[in-house]
């Protein structure tokens, strides 16, 4: 006869644990202090594995096409751009040190090769480490990954590096971000221009690409390259940069030819978001970003077979570093999708650096008007479309802005005469506010919502409103932690 199921289950039961004579429990009190402390096996493994050759294949894979330093027993994601200027990846700890530069190895390298004569420049806004690990010779000029530095950040960085290198001929500057390529390359190229090592932005970018990467593709993000060009133009002109010297209001964004038919923006109304960097941010801390949102109905979207035009019927004056985000808003999806974005600086647009002056618009004949033209390869995200699946090779964006006098206040742009094919859409707006018109007080014109972000986290939102005809303060009056909410007159 076979064995029943219940019997088989009893046979499979694990035998009960029995106490063994002579075995006592863990020590307590003073006796516990004499015993070795428990060790975190994962941390210990990471700290030891990062210093032996078995992790080198992992590090090589993570560093991709970046040049590595493999001399004198080291294997680091690190390259000498010049004899005294070093670019490297982030000095990581614990498990991250298995596939990135381990902070102990970086310390050993610097102490071996440049003892007492190195200073580190950390460009990461998302992470940091204890400066005492490098004798507190660490400076921080932080900005976001995949973005250009704010213009206020570049000159202090270059001056600090130059001061350090000039103090002793043996001194070296070590610059890093997370991967040690894009942000690092942007600031290193700016310093190469500042020091006169390279004659212009194009040569500086090419030189860095050869020294830092195997495929000579160093700084690849278009907006980062644009800011190197801006800084080169600033040095050539000899003019001091002033963020508030050029206030502009955006009037129109044109895309031509339209994106491919399968791209949602080809059918759905595009959404435009304007962001302004806080020029008063501390160079050694994270930067804030201000996002202006206008109420629905302030944007006129016009399209034909050759172009898509997003015309703003009102815009608060902006100055300094501006980010333009273009989204599509599919009707069947709750979340909008970004098409592309780009950064520009109003100081250089009005100085005709990468931009040109054009005849004024009919409704504002007294204002200087400029057009910033960017091709596909000058647009962040769109430049990745190398197979031209979404955008044609001759795709371009034209941004029309008007220079606002320094002493002026907000002036709404007049409504334009719409073409027969135009469509006014609340879904295509400058960061459309979801509130309905009923939420706005009767007789009060809402100029928009100002949102302030600190490292991607919204910490304040203020509705800007005033009576029709009453002026609204410029963005300059809204910076900092004290935000002005313009109330209606009693």
Q: Which of the residues 158, 177, 311, 315 is marked catalytic?
A: 177
Separation in Å, CA 56 to CA 80, 340, 389? 20, 36, 37
203 burial (CB, 10 Å; 0-12 / 13-18 / 19+) is middle
Rounded Cα–Cα distance for residues 138 and 135 (Å) = 8
- As given in the structure block, the two tokens for residue 104 are 């102990």
Q: Is 177 among the residues known to form the active site?
A: yes
Neighbours of 473 (CB within 10 A): 15
Is residue 286 within 8 A of residue 455, CB to CB? The reply is yes
Is residue 176 within 8 A of residue 127, CB to CB? The reply is no
Residue 149 per-residue DSSP state: P
Q: Which residues of 430-441 are buried (b: 16+ CB within 10 A; e: fewer)?
A: bbbbeeeeeeee
61 burial (CB, 10 Å; 0-12 / 13-18 / 19+) is exposed
Rounded Cα–Cα distance for residues 481 and 459 (Å) = 10
Separation in Å, CA 200 to CA 98, 162, 190, 210, 348? 38, 18, 10, 16, 16
- As given in the structure block, the two tokens for residue 139 are 């400076």
Rounded Cα–Cα distance for residues 188 and 192 (Å) = 6
Q: Which positions are catalytic? A: 177
């Amino acid at each position: 006869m076979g064995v029943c199921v219940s019997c088989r289950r009893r046979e499979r039961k694990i035998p009960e644990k029995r106490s063994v004579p002579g075995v006592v429990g863990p020590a307590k009190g003073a006796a516990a202090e004499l015993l070795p402390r428990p060790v975190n096996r994962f941390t210990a493994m990471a700290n030891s594995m990062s210093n032996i050759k078995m992790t080198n294949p992992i590090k090589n894979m993570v560093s991709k096409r970046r040049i590595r330093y493999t001399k004198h027993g080291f294997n680091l994601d690190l390259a000498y751009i010049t004899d005294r200027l070093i670019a490297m990846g982030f000095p990581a700890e614990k498990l991250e040190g298995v596939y990135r530069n381990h902070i102990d190895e970086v310390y050993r390298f610097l102490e071996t090769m440049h003892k007492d004569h190195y200073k580190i420049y950390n460009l990461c806004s998302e992470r940091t480490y204890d400066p005492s690990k490098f004798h507190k010779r660490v400076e921080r000029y932080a900005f976001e990954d995949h973005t250009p530095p704010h213009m206020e950040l570049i000159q202090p960085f270059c001056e600090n590096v130059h001061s350090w290198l000039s103090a002793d001929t043996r001194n070296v500057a070590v610059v890093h971000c997370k991967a040690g390529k894009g942000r690092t390359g942007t600031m290193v190229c700016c310093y190469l221009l500042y020091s006169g090592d390279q004659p212009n932005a194009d040569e500086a970018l090419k030189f860095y690409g050869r020294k830092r990467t195997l495929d000579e593709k160093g700084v690849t993000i278009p907006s980062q390259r644009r800011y190197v060009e801006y800084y080169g133009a600033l040095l050539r002109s000899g003019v001091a940069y002033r963020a508030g010297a050029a206030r502009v209001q955006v009037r129109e964004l044109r895309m031509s030819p339209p994106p491919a038919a399968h791209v949602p923006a080809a059918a759905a109304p595009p959404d435009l978001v304007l962001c302004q960097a806080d020029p008063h941010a501390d160079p050694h801390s994270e930067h804030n970003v201000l996002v202006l949102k206008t109420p629905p109905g302030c944007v006129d979207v016009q399209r034909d077979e050759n172009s898509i035009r997003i015309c703003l019927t009102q815009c608060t004056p902006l100055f300094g570093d501006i980010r333009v985000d273009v989204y599509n808003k599919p009707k069947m999806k709750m979340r909008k999708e970004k098409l592309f974005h780009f950064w520009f600086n109003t100081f250089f647009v009005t100085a005709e650096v990468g931009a040109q002056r054009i005849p004024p618009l009919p409704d504002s004949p007294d204002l200087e008007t400029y057009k910033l033209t960017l091709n596909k390869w000058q647009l962040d995200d769109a430049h990745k479309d190398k197979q031209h699946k979404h955008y044609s090779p001759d795709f371009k964006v034209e941004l029309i802005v008007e220079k606002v006098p320094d002493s002026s206040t907000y002036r709404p742009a007049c409504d334009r005469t719409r073409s027969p094919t135009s469509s006014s859409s609340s879904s295509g707006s400058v960061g459309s506010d979801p509130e309905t018109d009923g939420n706005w007080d009767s007789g009060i014109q809402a100029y928009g919502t100002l949102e302030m972000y600190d490292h991607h986290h919204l910490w304040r939102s203020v509705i800007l409103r005033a009576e029709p005809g009453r002026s609204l303060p410029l963005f300059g009056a809204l910076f900092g932690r004290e935000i002005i909410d313009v109330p209606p007159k009693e």
